[in-house]
């Protein structure tokens, strides 16, 4: 069974986001061994300068890199990434299962994104939209799209 790891900077504080995340994690059990790894967001002042932001991204990068699995297809979710449709997501999932150990890792950065050195290690830079979303909401959206991708690959009517 394919292993799926989602590395996220920050925690879900709101119950409704946790409930939605838990629901999709439960649904994903039919398709893969899914795991969410939350790493702490680096502390920043209210109005950080560029050097403080870069230092925070590097601290988060250290934690992200420690949690990445060797051999897994790695997808960095970033604004400058390639836009993916639901069908593209399904293909990404099936492509991952065809290579190496078949595992896939998604990375969701904090409010300032992901350090460049993490993105350089990713196999794919993916963007879900040109719009900006709160990271808590985006985690749920990503889980839903991953679930949808598995359902598309299964030939289910979930995706219409």
pLDDT at position 19, please? Answer: 95
- For residue 150, give the 3-state DSSP assignment: helix
Question: For domain 2-43+50-154, which CATH number applies: 1.10.630.10, 3.10.20.30, 3.40.1280.10, 3.40.50.620?
Answer: 3.40.1280.10
Per-residue pLDDT for 119 more than 90?
A: yes
Identify the sign of the CA torsion 48, 82, 35, 143. positive
pLDDT at position 160, please? Answer: 67
Share of the chain above pLDDT 90, in %: 78
The pTM of the whole model exceeds 0.75: yes
Per-residue pLDDT for 42 more than 70?
A: yes
Alpha carbon distances (Å) from 144 to 24, 43, 58:
6, 29, 29
Please state the rounded mean pLDDT for residues 26-44. Answer: 95
- Residue ranges of the domains in the chain? 2-43+50-154
pLDDT at position 95, please? Answer: 87
For residue range 50-107, list pLDDT tens digits in order.
999 999 999 999 999 999 988 889 999 998 999 999 999 999 999 888 776 689 999 9
């Amino acid at each position: 069974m394919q292993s799926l790891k989602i590395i996220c900077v920050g925690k879900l504080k709101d119950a409704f986001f946790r409930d939605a995340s838990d629901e999709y994690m439960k649904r994903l059990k039919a398709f893969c061994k899914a795991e969410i790894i939350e790493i702490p967001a680096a502390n920043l002042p209210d109005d950080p300068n560029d050097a403080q932001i870069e230092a925070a991204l590097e601290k988060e990068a250290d934690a992200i890199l420690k949690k990445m699995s060797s051999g897994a297809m790695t997808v960095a979710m970033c604004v400058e990434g390639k836009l993916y449709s639901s069908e593209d997501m399904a293909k990404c999932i099936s492509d991952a299962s065809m290579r190496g150990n078949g595992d896939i890792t998604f990375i969701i950065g904090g409010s300032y994104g992901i350090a460049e050195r993490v993105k350089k290690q990713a196999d794919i830079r993916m963007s879900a939209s040109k719009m900006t979303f709160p990271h808590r909401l985006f985690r749920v959206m990503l889980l839903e799209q991953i679930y949808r991708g598995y359902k598309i690959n299964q030939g289910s009517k979930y995706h219409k």
